[in-house]
Amino acid sequence: MIGTMFADEMNLLGLKPPRKKINPRARFYFTEKGWDEIGRNLYDEIARQGYKPKIECRKNPKRSDCVYRDAYQVAILFNE
């Protein structure tokens, strides 16, 4: 998974992992602030290394679907 491959890069950019274990069905997204401060740089680094990252937007997810949230990221639980 791309998140584990680039964990060191995310840490260098200031994105800290959640302190609690998150449901494996949850998918992480950047908040607007997270994208502006961390996501754009991470995207560029991933692309520089030859990967083709995909940007997917989730605008205003239901609060009941959010299993984690901080200033930079939100984890949304999917039933798929």
What are the pLDDT tens digits along the chain (80 aa)?
Answer: 555 677 788 888 888 888 888 888 888 999 999 999 999 999 998 899 899 888 888 888 888 899 999 999 999 987 75
How much is the pLDDT for 60? 85
How much is the pLDDT for 66? 92
CA distance 58 to 47: 22
Integer angstrom CA distances of residue 32 from 29, 35, 56, 62, 69:
9, 5, 13, 16, 12
How much is the pLDDT for 2? 56
51 close to 6: Cβ distance less than 8 angstroms? no
How much is the pLDDT for 8? 80
Q: Is the dihedral of CA 14, 75, 3, 58 positive or negative?
A: negative
How much is the pLDDT for 32? 94
